[in-house]
């Protein structure tokens, strides 16, 4: 993990998984969950704002793979399917 710095100060935290190389999506999910536990338990982070996850899909040999929708169009951005945030600014 490293902090992203701007001239105004820290703007967030980057968790870098490049060192893991080509891994399965299950292994990535496990790594993300473990890192979230570290952020919560060791750094006492309870809420986050505007998180993003950038994924470079590949096959098991590390070769780039184009992701397509079932109808054939290419996907470059995927909005989350989790629409029930637990943050305090969420109005019911």
Q: What is the pLDDT of residues 45-58, one digit of tens each?
A: 998 888 888 999 99
Alpha carbon separation from 49 to 12, 19, 46, 52, 89 (Å, rounded): 9, 25, 11, 9, 11
User: Could you read off the pLDDT of 55-68 as tens digits, one per residue?
Assistant: 999 999 999 999 99
DSSP state of 70: T
Q: Give the separation between CA 72 and CA 16, rounded to whole angstroms.
A: 31
pLDDT at 79: 79
Instruction: Report the chain's mean pLDDT, rounded to a whole number.
Output: 83
On the question of pLDDT at 4 being above 60, the answer is no
The pLDDT, as a whole number, for residue 11 is: 73
Confidence (pTM) = 0.72
């Amino acid at each position: 993990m490293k902090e992203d710095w701007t001239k105004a100060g820290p703007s967030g935290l980057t968790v870098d998984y490049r060192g893991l190389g080509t891994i399965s999506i299950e292994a990535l999910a496990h790594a993300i969950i473990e890192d979230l536990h570290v952020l919560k338990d060791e750094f006492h982070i309870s809420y986050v704002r505007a998180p993003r996850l950038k994924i470079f899909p590949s096959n098991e040999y590390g070769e780039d793979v184009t992701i397509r929708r079932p109808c054939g169009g290419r996907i470059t951005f995927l909005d989350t399917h989790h629409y029930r945030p637990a943050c305090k600014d969420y109005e019911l």
